[in-house]
């Protein structure tokens, strides 16, 4: 194989690697769009702590113990609204915020562990269909 062939092959490999990496989420090392799950799911020992953290950081907008009458802010409806995508929607929302709706970015304020403890609590208060 000549120089042009090697250069072309090298370029193709670099392009393929860049394409593969661009479809990965840097935080989770999962393919973009892949389902995200709560790493603390099922940890009933964390629910009370998650409730306290929720009330400390989230209740001023989402109501004490997540009881909020306004549907857009009622986090007891995450499962109804988003189904299996609820953990992903939650994670993306708290990390990126929704500044147009008044939701701050929590990414550099709260640790991943604290955010998932809050979500662990929220999973226990979801409205059933």
Domain ranges of the chain: 1-30, 35-123
Q: Are 125 and 66 in contact (CB under 8 A)?
A: yes
Q: What pLDDT, on the 0 to 100 scale, is given for residue 5? A: 44
**Cα distance between residue 71 and residue 76, in whole Å:** 9
Looking at residue 94, its pLDDT comes to 97
- Residue-level pLDDT at 68: 85
Cα(90)–Cα(121) distance, integer angstroms: 13
8-state DSSP, 103: B
pLDDT (tens digit, 0 to 9) for every residue of the chain, 129 residues total?
A: 555 543 443 443 333 333 333 333 434 444 455 678 999 999 999 999 999 999 999 999 999 999 987 777 889 999 999 999 999 999 999 999 999 999 999 999 999 999 999 999 999 999 887
Alpha helices in the chain (DSSP H): 3-22, 47-57, 59-62, 78-82, 86-96, 112-123
Residue (of 36, 37, 57) closest to 118 by Cα position:
57
- Rounded-to-integer distance, Cα 56 and Cα 99, Å: 20
Q: What is the pLDDT of residue 105?
A: 97
Cα separation, 59 vs 44, whole angstroms: 21
- Where is 31: in which H helix or E strand? strand 30-31
Q: In the CATH scheme, what is the homologous superfamily, with its name and number, of domain 35-123?
A: Cytochrome c-like domain (1.10.760.10)
């Amino acid at each position: 194989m000549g120089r042009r062939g090697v250069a072309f092959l090298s370029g193709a490999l670099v392009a393929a690697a860049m394409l593969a990496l661009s479809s990965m989420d840097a935080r989770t090392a999962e393919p973009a769009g892949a389902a995200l799950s709560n790493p603390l799911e099922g940890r009933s020992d964390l629910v009370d702590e998650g409730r306290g953290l929720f009330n400390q950081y989230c209740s001023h907008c989402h109501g004490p113990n997540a009881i909020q009458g306004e549907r857009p802010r009622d986090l007891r409806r995450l499962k109804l609204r988003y189904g299996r995508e609820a953990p992903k929607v939650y994670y993306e929302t708290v990390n990126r915020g929704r500044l147009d709706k008044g939701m701050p970015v929590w990414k550099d304020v709260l640790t991943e562990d604290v955010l998932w403890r809050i979500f662990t609590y929220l999973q226990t208060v979801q409205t059933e269909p």
